[in-house]
Amino acid sequence: MLDDSDDIHPLFAGAPRTTEFKKLRKRVVRQTREAIEQYGMIEATDPDAPRPKWLVCLSGGKDSYTLLAVLYELRWRGLLPVDLLACNLDQGQPGFPATVLPAFLERMQVPHRIEYQDTYSIVVDKVPEGRTFCALCSRLRRGNLYRLAREEGCSAVVLGHHRDDILETFFMNLFHGGRLATMPPKLVNEEGDLFVYRPLAHVAEADCDRFAQAMAYPIIPCDLCGSQDGLQRQQVKQILDGWETNSPGRRQVMFRALMNARPSHLLDPKLFDFQGLMRKSDQFEEISGDIPVLR
């Protein structure tokens, strides 16, 4: 973004001018643009139709602040022809600083909607003691976000999950779910009427952290699940941190593996036809047997 211009968006006012930050910002923007293009997040629409509108979900964490800023930068550059509506779902957590995000978005001149739904009480009531809140909390949050997207005429719900979230989810499914699966960068909801996008899919968590800290965005911690001990995700994160410490760059190598799947080298017969696999000689004999021999 050309910060010397007079029309710089307020989200980038006061951005550090250090070489280190400029490189970080350029990398995060480039990786986000690559994910948007690679996974086809920009919908092809009739030129006369209204522009697509995205519901950009903000939790107040470093990832969602980074997401919002980068999407605005891409739109400012003319690389993201969509309208953006920022949204925060206040889930009624005790002590949640409800005024922080509305004040920030007003100051940043970002169109937004703040929705209050007390899902916290439901989660605490329904989840047995000693069990984690994440599954039910995320399900209730997702349902409300889908509703808000429909009410606002949005075609997509946009989430701030980054590369490390995707890796951690893969290993959680591997260790605890018995399946090879993770968060896809793009999917359609069960009802089939909304896209779900994760434009930060290629961006490292550490880069989101450095970006949001450098911009001094007002970070709001998640005290609902973040206060629980022994979460599976925390355990997986510790494992990945250890691997990264012993072998720097391993996270990126593992992430590339998720983009380079070989169904014929796995064990799922629904993905690859092992029953129909033939040797070349078998194929030749089958073809030869179908052709009458002229005498």
CA dihedral 138, 144, 145, 149 (to 10 degrees): 160
- Does 206 have pLDDT greater than 50? yes
- Does 229 have pLDDT greater than 60? no
Predicted confidence band of residue 228 (pLDDT cuts 50, 70, 90): very low
Higher pLDDT, 27 or 229: 27
Angle between helices 119-126 and 134-151 (to 10 degrees): 150
- Give ∠ CA 140-144-146 in degrees, rounded to 5: 115
pLDDT of residue 225: 52
- 10-290 classified as CATH 2.60.120.10: no
pLDDT of residue 234: 87
Distance CA 137, CA 157 (A): 17
C-beta atoms surrounding 59 within 10 Å: 20
- Does 22 have pLDDT greater than 80? yes
- Give ∠ CA 25-29-34 in degrees, rounded to 5: 150
pLDDT of residue 117: 87
Predicted confidence band of residue 49 (pLDDT cuts 50, 70, 90): confident
* H/E segment holding residue 166: helix 163-172
pLDDT digits (tens, 9 = 90+) for 153-186: 999 999 999 999 999 999 999 998 999 999 999 9
Predicted confidence band of residue 105 (pLDDT cuts 50, 70, 90): very high
Distance CA 81, CA 46 (A): 13
pLDDT of residue 95: 82
8 Å CB contact between 160 and 61: yes
Backbone dihedral region of 31: left (phi > 0), alpha (psi from -120 to 50 degrees) or beta? alpha
8 Å CB contact between 51 and 82: yes
- Does 295 have pLDDT greater than 60? no
pTM (two decimals): 0.87
Average pLDDT over residues 78-91: 93
Report percent pLDDT > 70 for the chain.
88
Predicted confidence band of residue 1 (pLDDT cuts 50, 70, 90): very low
Angle between helices 62-76 and 19-38 (to 10 degrees): 80
8 Å CB contact between 63 and 161: yes
Higher pLDDT, 127 or 54: 54
Predicted confidence band of residue 94 (pLDDT cuts 50, 70, 90): confident
Distance CA 185, CA 171 (A): 17
- Does 290 have pLDDT greater than 70? no
Report percent pLDDT > 90 for the chain.
66
pLDDT of residue 45: 72
Structure tokens, 214: 């450098």
* Residue 104: C-alpha distances to residues 16, 60, 73, 166, 204 (Å): 19, 10, 17, 28, 25
Higher pLDDT, 131 or 223: 131
Average pLDDT over residues 235-245: 94
Domain boundaries, the chain: 10-290
pLDDT of residue 175: 93
List, edge to edge, every strand of the sheet that includes 195-197: 112-116, 83-90, 53-57, 156-158, 195-197, 186-188
The mean of the pLDDT values for the chain is 88
